[in-house]
Amino acid sequence: MSEQHDLRISGGRVVSTFTGEEFAADVLVRGDRITGVLPPGTPATAVEEIDATGMLIVPGFVDAHMHIESAFLTPQEFAAVTLARGTTTVLADPHEIVNVAGRDAMRWMIDAGRETAQTQLWGVPSCVPALEGLEHAGAALSADDIADMLEWPGVIALGEVMDYRAVVAGDRRMHEITAAARAHDAILDGHCPNLTGAELSAYLATGVDSDHTKNRTEVVLEKARLGMTMMLQEKCLSPDVAMALLSLPQLPPLCLVTDDLAADHIVERGHLDHIARVAVAAGFPPHAVLKALTWTPAQRLRLYDRGVVSPGKRADLVLLRGELDAFDPAVVLAGGRVVGRDGAPVQATAPAPQTPAVPPLDSRLEVEPQDADGFRWRVDLPDGTHRFRAMSVNPRDTYTEATEIDLPVSGGEVHWEGRTTLVRVRNRYGRPGAVFAPLSGRDLGDGAVASTYAHDSHNLLTIGTSRAAMAAAAATVVADGGGVAVVRGAAGDTVAARMPLPVGGVLSARPAHDVADQAAAVRTALETWGWNHLNPFMSVSTLTLAVSPALKITDRSLVDVARREPVAATITH
């Protein structure tokens, strides 16, 4: 080959996502394209060379379902840390910040992402608010809004259709939204935990054809055989699911996705590379895992220029050290440029970003000063003992079951302290009122947590064992302009950890490693308090996700998710 190339990667072994083979080859790159995959030593001139001896050369990883806000990072900082772990392409659904600040927030996210070396593509959030009529968010998107936003550069999908019960019931608003996405030939992402039978058929018939939620093993198989793209995040990767899928006559197309990973998790454990290792540990063959990280999600996103190491394809490449099953990135290239080494970002040489790190978004914490009196649970009930509906949480996933607890009432106030943990949701967008509910399933010490990162409307969520501690945690968050705070003690006089999130109340403008340190401190404080969970951030923040089974709490009421109806806190027999 007489042409001069920009880069030659020599000495490594290419892994084919088509055949599963590993073969010795040199990879040539010009600009952002692969220009040759040749037998080692084939004559060719290149400006630079990377010695990949002992390494495997694989395509860049593609995340077909995730939320940048879950990392608490701006798009620029998110790209820096995840590129270094091999994630070169993402489809991001910004439904957190769009629920706070609407169209302006999404436009800022897109502009910020465009200035990174990572390919950041976007889905228009389908549920703003997540459950219309049963919660108040900071914004609302109509079908017309969504149709317009699907025309924006970089937007290729309708974000996860979480209100699956409305879809199945033939709700007019959701019908108009899914119809708008089909009219624009957009990808329609799904969210339908354990939906099965006739209801699953009705959901699929709208054009929504993926699911990333946790399902019973038999439901995973049912969805896969009907052609639904199964997206497996960490909590879905059990040995039972792996065994069931691998026992099929043919392994269906699978995507490995991150969905929601906090900054500390990414920095300490990894991004898609971590999910890959979890999949291998669950029993999936390494070559099947690689395909689920690369070729299959690229096809899902209609990105036909990536997902395989081949001439003419985009030079998004990961050089892995050791065996494939370790998924250990040594060098990462995006568009032919080295962007990561040994898990750390390489300093960019591109011009300074033009999009400000902090967007012009008001966090909108329109609440009264947080004091203990605001955590009195007042009810219109006679004096005596009454039975209340409570939320029961577990250490494995974000499902919440309904349970019951007896609590005394006197003078129109529920006396819950010393008897249960309490949850309160306070609207942060200038609306009055607050909703309370008992919580069970945790053995907590004295203290509280407060957060404006509370799916999906991101109102002010507070959980605690005393009114004083709850007030202290909430006041800390308000003082920070939004974020998460954990306090210790019955009086809440010790702030164990805090993570300010002043960008819309859901993002930090700090560098990724600073945010990771804060997130790690919050995680540790939650676990020390007794909030033990595979993903404590999601366990706390999804108590308000009114489209996720089974009993949730919003700024308007407790919600029976299956029936999409408000339910009373008091149980009468």
What Cα–Cα distance (Å) separates residue 266 from each residue in 78, 353, 369, 521? Answer: 9, 23, 35, 15
φ/ψ of 511, rounded to 5, equals -60, 155
φ/ψ of 215, rounded to 5, equals -130, 155
Q: CA-CA distance, 211 to 89, in Å (whole number)?
A: 19
Q: CA-CA distance, 498 to 484, in Å (whole number)?
A: 6
Tokens read off for 149? 């936003």
Q: Which residues contact 243 (CB under 8 A, 6 or more apart)?
A: 283
Q: CA-CA distance, 547 to 235, in Å (whole number)?
A: 18
The shares of helix, strand and coil residues in the chain, as percent rounded to the nearest 5, are: 30, 30, 40
Give the other-Cβ count within 10 Å of 540's Cβ: 26
CA angle 174, 177, 181 (to 5 degrees): 140
Tokens read off for 572? 């009468």
Question: Is the C-alpha dihedral spanning 472, 478, 480, 484 positive or negative?
Answer: positive
Q: What is the pLDDT of residue 433?
A: 84
pLDDT by position in tens, the chain (length 573): 468 999 999 999 999 999 999 999 999 999 999 999 999 999 999 999 999 999 999 999 999 999 999 999 999 999 999 999 999 999 999 999 999 999 999 999 999 999 999 999 999 999 999 999 999 999 999 999 999 999 999 999 999 999 999 999 999 999 999 999 999 999 999 999 999 999 999 999 999 999 999 999 999 999 999 999 999 999 999 999 999 999 999 999 999 999 999 999 999 999 999 999 999 999 999 999 999 999 999 999 999 999 999 999 999 999 999 999 999 999 999 999 999 999 999 975 444 556 655 565 766 899 999 999 999 999 999 999 999 999 999 988 889 999 999 999 999 999 999 999 999 999 999 999 899 999 999 999 999 999 999 999 999 999 999 999 999 999 999 999 999 999 999 999 999 999 999 999 999 999 999 999 999 999 999 999 999 998 899 999 999 999 999 999 999 999 999 999 999 999 865
Buried b (16+ CB within 10 A) or exposed e, 189-228: bbbbbbbeeebbeebbebbbbbbbbbbeeebbbbbbeeeb
Query: Do residues 115 and 76 lie in contact, with contact meaning Cβ atoms separated by under 8 Å?
Result: yes
Tokens read off for 309? 């190491």
SS3 track for 353-420: CCCCCCCCCCCCCECCCCCHHHHCCECCCCCEEEEEEEEECCCCCCCEEEEEEEEEEECCEECCCCCC
The single-letter code of the amino acid at 74 is: T
Q: CA-CA distance, 64 to 210, in Å (whole number)?
A: 10
Name the pTM for this structure.
0.95
Rounded to a whole number of angstroms, the CA Rg of the chain reads: 24
In terms of C-beta density within 10 A (0-12 exposed, 13-18 middle, 19 or more buried), how is residue 110 classed? buried
Give the other-Cβ count within 10 Å of 351's Cβ: 7
In terms of C-beta density within 10 A (0-12 exposed, 13-18 middle, 19 or more buried), how is residue 185 classed? exposed
Q: CA-CA distance, 386 to 433, in Å (whole number)?
A: 22
The runs of H, that is alpha helices, within 84-169 are: 95-114, 143-149, 164-168
Give the residue carrying structure tokens 């349970």.
Answer: 403
Give the other-Cβ count within 10 Å of 127's Cβ: 27
In terms of C-beta density within 10 A (0-12 exposed, 13-18 middle, 19 or more buried), how is residue 324 classed? buried
> Could you give the residue range(s) of every CATH 3.20.20.140 domain in the chain?
61-306
Does 493 sit behind a cis peptide bond, omega within 30 degrees of 0 on the bond before it? no
φ/ψ of 17, rounded to 5, equals -80, -5
The single-letter code of the amino acid at 538 is: M
Domain 61-306 falls under CATH 3.90.700.10? no
Q: CA-CA distance, 166 to 127, in Å (whole number)?
A: 11
If you count them, how many residues does the chain have?
Answer: 573
Q: CA-CA distance, 445 to 532, in Å (whole number)?
A: 12
Can you tell me whether residue 536 is helix, strand or coil?
Answer: helix
Q: Which residues contact 113 (CB under 8 A, 6 or more apart)?
A: 68, 75, 76, 79, 92, 120, 122, 154
Give the residue carrying structure tokens 């999906």.
Answer: 456
Query: Do residues 501 and 69 lie in contact, with contact meaning Cβ atoms separated by under 8 Å?
Result: no
Query: Do residues 570 and 150 lie in contact, with contact meaning Cβ atoms separated by under 8 Å?
Result: no
Buried b (16+ CB within 10 A) or exposed e, 152-167: eeebbbbbbbbbbbbb
